[in-house]
C-alpha cells in the first residue's frame, strides 16, 4: 500500500504540471496576421498545391534534360551449339564446331543527339515552363482564397463575440426591467399581461444568446478546420473591428489595377501562352528532324572479313540522320486549325474575365464605401437610441408610456448596436475581398 501511495505521489506533480499545458494547447489567442500565417503553414489544400508546384518544377527539369544526348550501353554474349551439315539429305548429317569459334560477344556504346526538330523540343520545354508558372499562380490563388475564408471566419467570430456582449447587456436590462415590473405589479400599478410579456421577452433573449453561442462555436470550428488545428480548439481573436479603416480614395488604384493583377486574369494570360506554344509545336511538325548519332564497340569474333577470324576487333562511326514525315502535310492541317480556334476562344474568354473582374472590383469598392457610411450612421444611431431608451424607460415606470413603447425602444437600441457591428465587419470583409479580387491577398 505504501509503495502505491509513493508511486502516486511521484507521478502526481507531473500530471498537475501537464494540465496547464493541455489547457494552453486548447486555446489560441491570435491576431489576424497569426491566422494567415497558420493558414499558410498548416492548411492542407495549400500544402497540396505547393506539392503540385514542386512536381511541375521536376517536370520542367526533365524537359530541359531531354536536349542532352541519349547514351546507351549494349552488351551481349552467345554460345553456339555445333553446326549440323547435311550433304545427301536430312538423313545424312554430321556436326562440326561453328567456325571460327562457338563463342560470340559484343560490347558497345551508342549515342544520339537531336540538333534540329523544328522547334518542338524548345516548345516542350516552354510548355513545362508555362505549366510551372501556372502551378505557382494556382498556389497563390488558392492561398489567397484560403486566406479570404480564414479572414471571413475570423471576422465572423469577432462579430458573434461582440453580439454576445450586446445580448448580455440586453438580458441584464431585461432582468432589471422584469424586477421593476414585478414591483409595480405587486403595487397594482401595471397589469399581469405586462409582467408576462416582459418575462417572455427575457426568455426569448436568453434563447437568442444560446443561438449566438452555438453560431460562435460553429464559426470557431470552421476556422479550426481551415487552420488544421485540433478539434474543439478555442480561438480568441486579439484584433478588433473598431480601428481606423482605409479611406475609399486610397483604394481607387487597387480597383483600377484589378484588370491586370487579378489571379483570374493572370491565369487566363498563362492559358493563352500555353495555347500559342502548342500552335508553335504543331507547326514544328512540318519541319524535318536532324540527328547526330555515333557508336563504338568491341566485337568477337571478327565477322568483317571472310572467312571470319577468331579474333576481337573494335570499330566506331559517327553520322547524321535526317527524317521528314510526309504525312505531316495532311495530318497536322486540322490540328493547327483546331488549335487556332481554341486560341480565339481563350482570347474571347480573357476579355470576358477582364470585364467580370472589373465589375466585381467596382462593386466591392462601392459596397466598402457604403459600409463606411453605415458605420458613421450607426455610431450616431446608438447615441440616439440609447437616449430614447432612457426617456421611454423613465416614462414607462412613471406610467406615462406603454410597455410596447419600452420594448420597441429596447429593440431599437439593440438593432443600432447590431448595425454598427455588422457595418464594421462588412467593411473589413469587403476590403479583403477587394484585395483578393485585385490579386493582392
- Domain ranges for the chain, please list them: 27-66+117-288+324-437, 70-116+289-323
What is residue 109's predicted lDDT score, i.e. its pLDDT? 96
What fold, for 27-66+117-288+324-437? Outer membrane efflux proteins (OEP) (1.20.1600)
Q: What cell numbers appear for 315 in the block?
A: 570499330
Give yes or no for a contact between 260 and 342, defined as CB atoms under 8 angstroms apart: no
Give yes or no for a contact between 350 and 272, defined as CB atoms under 8 angstroms apart: yes
Q: What cell numbers appear for 80 in the block?
A: 553456339
Which of helix, strand or coil describes residue 374? helix
Q: What cell numbers appear for 99 in the block?
A: 567456325
Sort residue 90 into left (φ over 0), alpha (ψ -120 to 50) or beta.
Answer: alpha
State pTM to two decimals: 0.82
Grid cell 493582392 in the structure block, residue: 440
Q: Please work out, in degrees rounded to the nearest 5, the angle formed at the alpha carbon of residue 197 by the alpha carbons of 192 and 202.
A: 130
HSE of 91 in the Cβ direction (CA atoms, 13 Å)?
0
What is residue 297's predicted lDDT score, i.e. its pLDDT? 95
**Phi, psi (degrees; rounded to nearest 5) at 93:** -130, 155
What is residue 152's predicted lDDT score, i.e. its pLDDT? 95
- The candidate with the shortest Cα–Cα distance to 355, out of 226, 432, 236, 262, is 262
* DSSP track, 139-200: HHHHHHHHHHHHHHHHHHHHHHHHHHHHHHHHHHHHHHHHHHHHHHHHTTSS-HHHHHHHHH
What is residue 305's predicted lDDT score, i.e. its pLDDT? 86
What is residue 83's predicted lDDT score, i.e. its pLDDT? 86
Which of helix, strand or coil describes residue 313? strand
What is residue 51's predicted lDDT score, i.e. its pLDDT? 94
Give yes or no for a contact between 288 and 329, defined as CB atoms under 8 angstroms apart: no
User: Could you give the CA distance from residue 276 to residue 271 in angstroms, rounded to a whole number?
Assistant: 9
**Residue 323's Cα: distance from chain center in Å?**
46
- Cβ–Cβ contacts within 10 Å for residue 51, how many? 12
Helices marked H in 43-119: 44-65
What is residue 337's predicted lDDT score, i.e. its pLDDT? 93
What is residue 390's predicted lDDT score, i.e. its pLDDT? 92
Q: Which residues of the chain have pLDDT under 70?
A: 1-25
DSSP class of residue 26 equals T
Give yes or no for a contact between 441 and 435, defined as CB atoms under 8 angstroms apart: yes
Amino acid at each position: 500500500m505504501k509503495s502505491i501511495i509513493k508511486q502516486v505521489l511521484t507521478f502526481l506533480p507531473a500530471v498537475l504540471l501537464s494540465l496547464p499545458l493541455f489547457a494552453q494547447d486548447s486555446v489560441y489567442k491570435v491576431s489576424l496576421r497569426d491566422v494567415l500565417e497558420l493558414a499558410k503553414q498548416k492548411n492542407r489544400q495549400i500544402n497540396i498545391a505547393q506539392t503540385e508546384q514542386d512536381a511541375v518544377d521536376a517536370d520542367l527539369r526533365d524537359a530541359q534534360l531531354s536536349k542532352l544526348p541519349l547514351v546507351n550501353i549494349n552488351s551481349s554474349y552467345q554460345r553456339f551449339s555445333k553446326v549440323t551439315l547435311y550433304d545427301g539429305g536430312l538423313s545424312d548429317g554430321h556436326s562440326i564446331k561453328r567456325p571460327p569459334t562457338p563463342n560470340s560477344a559484343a560490347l558497345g556504346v551508342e549515342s544520339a543527339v537531336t540538333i534540329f526538330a523544328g522547334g518542338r523540343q524548345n516548345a516542350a520545354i516552354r510548355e513545362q515552363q508555362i505549366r510551372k508558372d501556372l502551378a505557382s499562380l494556382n498556389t497563390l490563388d488558392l492561398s489567397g482564397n484560403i486566406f479570404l475564408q480564414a479572414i471571413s471566419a475570423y471576422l465572423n467570430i469577432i462579430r458573434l463575440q461582440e453580439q454576445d456582449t450586446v445580448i448580455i447587456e440586453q438580458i441584464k436590462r431585461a432582468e432589471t426591467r422584469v424586477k421593476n415590473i414585478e414591483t409595480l405589479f405587486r403595487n397594482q400599478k401595471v397589469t399581469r399581461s405586462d409582467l408576462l410579456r416582459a418575462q417572455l421577452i427575457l426568455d426569448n433573449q436568453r434563447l437568442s444568446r444560446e443561438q449566438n453561442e452555438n453560431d460562435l462555436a460553429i464559426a470557431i470550428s470552421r476556422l479550426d478546420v481551415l487552420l488544421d488545428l485540433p478539434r474543439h480548439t478555442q480561438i480568441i481573436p486579439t484584433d478588433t473591428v473598431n480601428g481606423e479603416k482605409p479611406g475609399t480614395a486610397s483604394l481607387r488604384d487597387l480597383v483600377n489595377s484589378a484588370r491586370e493583377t487579378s489571379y483570374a486574369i493572370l491565369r487566363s494570360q498563362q492559358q493563352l501562352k500555353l495555347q500559342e506554344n502548342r500552335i508553335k509545336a504543331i507547326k514544328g511538325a512540318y519541319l524535318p528532324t536532324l540527328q547526330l548519332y555515333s557508336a563504338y564497340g568491341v566485337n568477337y569474333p571478327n565477322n568483317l572479313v571472310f572467312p571470319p577470324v577468331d579474333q576481337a576487333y573494335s570499330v566506331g562511326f559517327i553520322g547524321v540522320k535526317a527524317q521528314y514525315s510526309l504525312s505531316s502535310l495532311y495530318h497536322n492541317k486540322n490540328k493547327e486549325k483546331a488549335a487556332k480556334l481554341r486560341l480565339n476562344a481563350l482570347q474571347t474568354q480573357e476579355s470576358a474575365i477582364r470585364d467580370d473582374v472589373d465589375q466585381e472590383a467596382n462593386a466591392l469598392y462601392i459596397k466598402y464605401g457604403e459600409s463606411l457610411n453605415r458605420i458613421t450612421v450607426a455610431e450616431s444611431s446608438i447615441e440616439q437610441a440609447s437616449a430614447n431608451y432612457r426617456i421611454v424607460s423613465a416614462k414607462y415606470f412613471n406610467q406615462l408610456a406603454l410597455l410596447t413603447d419600452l420594448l420597441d425602444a429596447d429593440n431599437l437600441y439593440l438593432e443600432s448596436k447590431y448595425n454598427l457591428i455588422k457595418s464594421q465587419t462588412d467593411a473589413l470583409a469587403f476590403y479583403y475581398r477587394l484585395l483578393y479580387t485585385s490579386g493582392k491577398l
